[in-house]
A and B are shown apart, each in its own frame.
Chain A
Amino acid sequence: MAHSRSHLTLALACLVPLFVTGCQSTQNKNTDSTTTNKVSLDTNPYPSTYTPLQSQPTVITNVTILDGAGKRIENGMIYFAEGKVQAVGQGLDYPSDANVIDGKGKWVTPGVIDNHSHLGVYPSPSIGSLADGNEMVKPVTPGVWVEHSVWPQDAGFGRALAGGVTSLQILPGSGNLFGGRSVVLKNVPNRSMQDMKFPDAPYGMKMACGENPKRVYGQKGGPMTRMGNVRGYRQAWSDAQDYMAKWDKYEREFEAGKNPTPPKRDLDLETMAGVLDGDILVHMHCYRADEMVTMMDMMQEFDYQISSFHHAVESYKIADRLKENNVCSSMWADWWGFKMEAYDGIRENIPMVDAAGACAIVHSDSELGIQRLNQEAAKAWSDGKRAGIDISMADAWAWLSANPAKSMGIFDKTGSLETGKNADIVLWNGNPFSTYTKAEKVYIDGGLAFDLNDAQSQPVSDFETGQKAEGEAQ
C-alpha cells in the first residue's frame, strides 16, 4: 500500500452509513462489516507486483566498504540474507552455509539511485511511436501518471543496471508547468511497470521552471514568459486548495450525519492535493538561482515542500538558501551551455552545494549518464578537492544513494548499508571513483540482478532479443 491521503480516508468513516456513487472509484479500507460507507478514493489502484529475485545468504569479505552513511571500512565484510542487510563491519559472524565472496581489491557500496530518469518513457529506440514522456497538450497536467507510459522493454534499464543502478525515479518531461506524477522503480527489468514498482514508495510530482514551458506554450496560448509560468503554478495551487476545501466540506457534512454529494473527482487537482497533504514529493526542473528562490517563496506561500530541484546548475549561487529551505539539488557534474539557463554551469556545483550543508544529489537525466553515475560523482568529488573543498569519498557517496533516496522518500528502505535495510548492493571490481572500474555484481533485495562475468545474469530486453546485430555481439 502506498501513502494514503488523510483527507480522503478518514478512520471515522467506519461510524457512518454506507455511501456510494457510481462515478467514484471506491475502496473499503475496513474489515468491520458494520462500516464501509463514505466515498474514499483508492490511492493505489496500480499496485506494485514486484517480487525480489531469488537470493541466498551472502557474505562479501576483505572488501573496501563505503556504507553510504558516511563511513568507510577497509578490509570490511558485509553479510546479507532474506533480502536485507544483516551486518556490516569487520569480523562478522555468518552462517556456515552462506555464499562467501572474496572482495579483495574490490569495493562495496549501496546501489546507485537515480532520481531523474526517463527510461521507459523516452526509451531506446528513440522514435516517435515510443516517445511517451511529455503530455504537452496543456501546461498543467499533474493528473497524468508517468507509470502509465513506462515501457519495460527499454534496453536502458539493463544498461543502467550494469552501472550499479538499483532504484530509479521515472519522471515525466519538463515541457509542462506540472508534468505529472513520477514513479519509483526497482531496476529488475520485468514484464510490466507494476512488476518493477518499488513497494510503498511515495509518488513524486514533476514541475518545471523557465525556458521549456514558455517555449512549448508561448505560441500555444501561454504561458509565454516566466511571469506567466508563475501565474500558472499559483492559479493551479489555489485551485487545489479549493478542491481540498470541497472534500473537507464533504467529509465534515458526512460526519455531521448529512448526506452530502462528494465533489467531482479531478485527477489533476487530486495529485496536487496529495502534494499539499505531504504525501506526494515535488521534483522541480529548475536551472537558474533566481528562479529557484522564487519557487521557494511559492512553496512557502502554498505551504508545501519541494523535495528537490533538478538540473539546478546555479545551485552554487544560492546554496545557503537551499539549506535553509531544506531543498535538495539534483545535478550533473559538468553539463552546461546547451541552453541559456544552463550557461552558468560550473564543475564545482555539486561540491559547493554539499559544502554549504545543503543536500546534493548526482542525477542523470540521460540513458548514457545513468550508466556511469559513479564517474559523475568522481568528477565532482575531484573538482571540489581541487577547489579546496575536501569531501571524503564516503561522504560523497551520499550524492548517489542516501540523498536521492531521501528525495524520493525511500531512505527508510534503501540508500545505505545499514542493518535491516534492503540489500541493494554493488560490488565494484575496483575503486568506483575511477574511469576503469565496473560494477561486477549488483544485488537488489539480496538477489543477484547483474553479474559482469556471467551472461546468464544480465537482462536482455525483448526489443534486442533475436536481432541480428545483437546476436553477432554474443
Chain B
Amino acid sequence: MKKLMIAALVSAACCSSALAANIAIVGGKVHTQTEQGVIDNATVFIKDGKIERISQSSDIPSNYERIDANGKVVTPGLVGAMTSLGLVEVASWAGIVDASVNNASISNTGAAFDVSYAINPDSTLMEVSRLEGITSAATTLSNTDHLFQGQGSIISVGAEAPLLKPRAFIVLDVGASAAKNSGGSRASLWVTLQYLFDEAKTLGDIPTPGDTWQGLNTRADLSVLKKVLAGDIPLVMEANRKSDILQILSFKDRYPQTNIVLMGGAQAWRVADQLAKANIPVIINPEMNLPSSFDALGASMENAARLEAAGVTLAIGMETHNIRLATQHAGNAVANGLSHEAALASLTSNPARIFGVQDSVGSLRNGARADVVIWSGDPLEVTEYAEQVFVNGEAVEMRSRQTDLRDRYMNYQNDDSTPPQYIEPNQ
C-alpha cells in the first residue's frame, strides 16, 4: 500500500497545482518528437497549457512549478492511431454502441456519418486510457453495413471538450469483408467505388434540396467524397492482401489529389517500396503475424521493420478498450527489427501528422498542446508505466474506475469488517 500512497501524494501535489499555469518538468530524458530529437536531462517548460520550450537549462523561474523527472523518460502524450474511444462503453449486448451504424438511410455509402456528434467524454475508457499515457486519439465507427466507416474525429482523451478536429478522416475497407458486403466480389466493390468517386468528381455543385437528384451517392455523401477527392481529409483504406494494396496504389494514381493512408496491411511489406514512393503511410498492429485469412498469408512480426526500412511512415495503435497496449505492440515491433525511434514516432508524431494535427499533438514542439507523459522508464517496456500524465498543461488525477475498484478491494482484503460497497476507494 505504501506505493499507492506515494502515487496519491504525487497526484495530489500535481492537482493542487493545476491552477498554476506554468510548469517545468525537470531533468528527464525528453523525446521531443521534433527536430530537437532526444535530449537528456532536459526541462520541458509549459505555459498556459502549451509547450513553451524544451531546453537543458536548469534555471527555473520562480513562477514555474517544478516537477522532478530526474531518471525518468518524458514524451508527448500518445496519439491513439485508430480507435472508437468515446463511442463505446461496453461493446457487446449492453445498450447503444455509437461505434456501430446499421440501416441509416441518410447515406448510401456511410461517408456522411459523423462521429463528432456521438463522443462521450465521460466514458470510463477515457480515464483508463489517459492514465497510461494516451492523451489524444483518432476515433471513428468500427462497424457499419456501409462501405465507409463514416467521418472520424481527433479527440483529446479525457478533456471536458474532447473534439480537437471533427470530420478529420474517413475509413474505407477495400479488403475481403468489403467485397463480401458489395455483392461478394472485389469485381463489384471496385466498380462501385469507381462510380461513386467519379460521380462526386464530375458533379459541379452538390444538388440543393430543390433539385432533382438521382445519383448513386446521397447529397449528404457527395460533399464528403468531394473533400476526399480534394485531399482535404485523409482516406484511410483498409486492406491486407498485396493485390488489394496494389489496387489502392492504382486508385491513388487515378485520383492523385487524394491523401491515402493504408490500414491493416498484413502484406504491406511485400509492396513497401511502392508505398514509400507513393507517400502512403500505414497504420498497423504489428502483432498480427498469423495467416488469419487468405488475405493475410505471409503476415509477419517483421512487417513494421520492413516498412521502416523502405521509408514508409508508420502508426501503431489499433484498439479501443486497450489502446493503452499500443506501447507493448510497438515494443514488440522493436523486438522484431523496428527502430526504437520509429516505434515512438509511430505512437506520437506519425499519427498526428497522418491526421493533420501535428501542430497541436504528438510532439513537444513549441506552441503545441502541453500533452506530456512522465514515464518510469522506457515506455515500450511492459514493466514500465506512465507516472504522471499532463493534458493541456494540467496534471491529471492518476486514477480511473479501474484503480477505484482495485483500491476498494485492496482495502477490503486488509479489513473485511465492512462490505465492499461501503468502502470508498480513495479513503
Contacts and interface: CB of A to CB of B under 8 A. Distances in A.
Do the two chains bind? yes
B402 to A, nearest CB: 5
A126 interface: yes
Given A339-B92, A339-B93, A340-B94, A382 B383 contact: yes
Interface in B275-323: 287-294, 296-298, 300, 302, 321-322
B406 A348 contact: yes
Interface stretch (A21-29, A56-64, A239-247, A330-338): A330-338
B220 interface: no
A378 B402 contact: no
A387 B420 CA distance: 18
A128 to B, nearest CB: 12
Contacts of A334: 322, 324-325
Interface string A287-306: 00000000000000000000
Contacts of B287: 368, 371-372
A387 B404 CA distance: 12
A340 B297 CA distance: 34
A372 B270 CA distance: 25
Contacts of B187: none
A433 interface: yes
Nearest to A367: B290
Contacts of A355: 413
B292 A124 contact: yes
Interface string A342-355: 01111110001001
B2 to A, nearest CB: 6
B164 interface: no
Interface in B51-110: 89-94
B334 interface: yes
Interface in A358-378: 367-368, 371-372, 375, 378
B4 A339 contact: no
Contacts of A339: 90-94
Contact of B4 (A340, A382, A387, A470): A387
B381 interface: yes
A323 B328 CA distance: 32
A437 B297 CA distance: 25
B351 interface: no
A382 B382 contact: yes
B300 A473 contact: yes
Contacts of A340: 90, 92-94
Contacts of B382: 375, 378-379, 382, 433-435
Given A317-B420, A467-B297, A473-B298, A343 B380 contact: no
B2 A388 contact: yes
A284 to B, nearest CB: 20
B11 to A, nearest CB: 13
Contacts of A467: 291, 297-298
Contacts of B402: 336, 345-347
A378 B324 CA distance: 16
A12 interface: no
Interface residues of A, number: 57
A236 interface: no
Interface string B389-427: 000000000000011011001100100100010000000
A436 B334 contact: yes
- Most chain A CB within a 10 A radius of its CB, from B293, B297, B300, B382: B382
A69 interface: no
B4 A464 contact: no
B7 interface: yes
B409 A317 contact: yes
B291 to A, nearest CB: 5
Nearest to B270: A472
Contacts of A438: 335
- Most chain B CB within a 10 A radius of its CB, from A155, A337, A387: A337
A469 interface: yes
A436 B93 contact: no
B383 A433 contact: yes
Given A378-B382, A472-B298, A156 B413 contact: no
A18 to B, nearest CB: 53
Contacts of A388: 1-4, 410
B298 A346 contact: no
Nearest to A385: B3
A343 B90 contact: yes
Interface in A249-265: none
B332 interface: yes
Interface string A447-474: 0000000000000000110011110110
A227 interface: no
30 contacts: A125-B292, A126-B293, A335-B322, A336-B321, A336-B402, A337-B91, A337-B321, A338-B90, A338-B91, A338-B321, A340-B93, A343-B90, A343-B94, A345-B402, A352-B410, A367-B290, A371-B287, A386-B4, A387-B410, A435-B381, A436-B335, A437-B335, A438-B335, A467-B291, A467-B297, A468-B298, A469-B242, A470-B291, A470-B297, A473-B302
Given A317-B420, A346-B402, A387-B3, 16 more contacts: A155-B291, A211-B92, A316-B409, A334-B325, A338-B90, A339-B91, A346-B405, A382-B384, A382-B385, A435-B335, A435-B382, A438-B335, A464-B297, A467-B298, A469-B267, A473-B302
Closest 3 CB pairs of A and B: A469-B298, A435-B331, A382-B383
Interface of B: 1-4, 7, 89-94, 124-125, 242, 267, 270, 287-294, 296-298, 300, 302, 321-322, 324-325, 328, 331-332, 334-335, 380-385, 402-403, 405-406, 409-410, 413, 416, 420
